[in-house]
Structure 1
Amino acid sequence: MTLHPAVMGRFYEDFVVGDVFQHPLGRTVLETDNAWFTMLTLNTNQNHFN
């Protein structure tokens, strides 16, 4: 696992499995966040939950 600073402008090819990027405003997305987003967008596709 390699720790990188958050930098804008990266391409898909720049990412490697196991890399960790620290962001100054990071947060964990909770189940509640997912529920609120689902209610807001009316997107109830099971791909987002399972």
Structure 2
Amino acid sequence: MEAYLQILVERDRERLAIAEGIEAMRAGRVRPFEEFDREFREQHGLEPRC
């Protein structure tokens, strides 16, 4: 029963995160993927995309 409740809690967290992302998109709080990707790769020492 406890494992089942944990699964439900995790699913609800995921649902809330998705809802927040959709709201951010609707509010215009987004940036191009290319910009995010470039910054992420620089921060983590990854090679630039081709």
Write 1 or 2 for the structure with the bigger share of helix. 2
If you compute each CA radius of gyration, which structure gives the higher value, 1 or 2? Answer: 2
TM-score (norm 1): 0.38
Question: Which structure has greater strand proportion?
Answer: 1
TM-score normalised according to structure 2 size:
0.38
